[in-house]
Amino acid sequence: MIVSIGHKSDGSEKDTLKNLRETKKCTICMVDEAHLEAMHFSSKELPRG
């Protein structure tokens, strides 16, 4: 398994990384191939909150 958390287009940390650093906790979601595209789109850059 690989966990890859990129940065926003402006170079700032994605909320996922900020939350992980603040809480020291995370959830890892694993999906089957049928849900791969939907999971990919869940990483879309959105405003915080």
**pLDDT tens digits, 3-49:** 888 888 899 988 888 999 999 998 888 889 999 898 888 877 877 77
pLDDT at 2: 79
- Condensed to tens digits (0 to 9), the pLDDT of residues 18-28 reads 999 999 998 88
Tokens of 40: 């990919």
Distance CA 23, CA 29 (A): 18
Rama region for 28: left / alpha / beta (φ>0; ψ in -120 to 50; rest) = beta
Residue type at position 22: E
